[in-house]
Amino acid sequence: MPALQLPEQTNFYSGKVRDVYTIKNKWLVMIASDRISAFDVILPKLIPFKGQVLNQIAAYMLHATKDICENWLLQTPAPNVAIGKKCDPFRVEMVVRGNLTGHAWRTYASGKRELCGVILPEGLKENDFFSSPIITPSTKATEGHDEDISKEEIIKNGLVTEDDYEKIERYSLQLFERGKEIAAKRGLILVDTKYEFGKIGDKIYLMDEILTPDSSRYFYADGFEERQTKNEKQKQLSKEFVREWLIENNFMGKEGQTVPAMNEEWIDTISKRYIELYEKLIGERFIPQQLSDEETEQRIVEGLQNLN
C-alpha cells in the first residue's frame, strides 16, 4: 500500500529504493527512501539520510547536465522528493564504464574478454582505465536481476529502435564526460555510472537519478596512479563498499543465501559514507533534514498545484 494518498493519483509503484506516484498519468512524484539495495536485494535496515543524499545529488546533477539532454525533473519540494514529467521508459539501462571495475572486473577476472558485445583488451588490471569509455547496457527488470545485453540484441529484440539507440548512446557518452569533469573539479574520478532514458511523444528525456552513489562509482584522484602501480585497492566513494561487505559475508543475492545482520555501527558507517560523498562531490556541507510524513505530503501537494 502507498504511504501517501495524493490528489488525482493514478498509479503507485514501490521500487527497491524509491516510491513512485503517478499523477493524472502526466507527472511522477518520486520519493527517495532510506532503503538500500545491493545485488538487486533490499537490505533489511534503513540508512539514515540516504534518501535525502540521493535526491539532492541527483537534482544537482540533472541541473548541471540539462544542456546535453533534457530531463524529467521539474522540482524538488522536499529533501527526498522529486516531481517531474512521466516518460515512457526504454527498458534498458545505459551503463558507461571508464575503468575496469566491479561487475566488469569480475567478468574479466573470470577469463572472459567480451561484455555486452564489447571486446575487452588483454593485459588490464583491476581499476585500469579503458582507452575510452565503453557502454555495457543491461535490461531494466521490473523484478529480479537486470541482465547484460548488447547493443545488437537491444535493437534486434525491439527494446529500442536503432535511431533512438544511437541518440541515447551519444547522450550517455556526453553525460559521462560531463560527469567526469564535475568529479575532477572535486578531486574525484567518475569510474562508472548508469543512465536511463524515456520518451514523451518523439522527444527523448533523461530520467531517474544520475551520478549518485547508488548509480555511480567514484575513486579519489589523489594517489590513484600510485595505488595502481602498487596493486593496492583504490580509495572510493560509492555503494561498492556495501557490496564488498556482503560478498565477504557470503551474500551475492543468489538463491539460498541469507543477508548478513547489520548492526547499528555498520548502519552509521554507511550513512556517513553517503554524506561524505555528498559533501565531496557537491562541495557543500550536508544539512540533514527530517520532515514528518504530513509535512512531506503537504509540500508535494503544493508542488503539484504549481504545475496545474
The dihedral built from the CA positions of residue 50, 52, 56 and 59, taken in this order, carries a sign that is positive
Q: Each residue's pLDDT tens digit in the chain (308 positions)?
A: 567 889 999 999 998 899 999 999 999 999 999 999 988 889 999 999 999 999 999 999 999 999 999 999 999 999 999 999 999 999 999 999 999 998 999 999 999 999 999 999 999 999 999 999 999 999 986 555 679 999 999 999 999 999 999 999 999 999 999 999 999 999 999 999 999 999 999 999 999 999 998 899 999 999 999 999 999 999 988 788 898 899 999 999 888 899 999 999 999 999 999 998 899 999 999 999 989 889 999 999 999 998 86
Which cell numbers hold the place of 271? 550513512
For the chain, the maximum distance between any two Cα atoms, rounded to a whole number of angstroms, is: 59
- Report the topology of domain 90-200+207-231: D-amino Acid Aminotransferase; Chain A, domain 1 (3.30.470)
The domain defined by 9-88+242-305 folds into Phosphorylase Kinase; domain 1 (3.30.200)
62 contact partners, CB below 8 Å, separation of at least 6: 71, 73, 206, 210
Q: Where are the domains of the chain?
A: 9-88+242-305, 90-200+207-231
Helix or strand run (H / E) with residue 262: none
Q: Answer whether 9-88+242-305 and 90-200+207-231 agree in fold.
A: no
- Which triple of cell numbers denotes residue 236? 572510493
pTM, two decimal places: 0.91
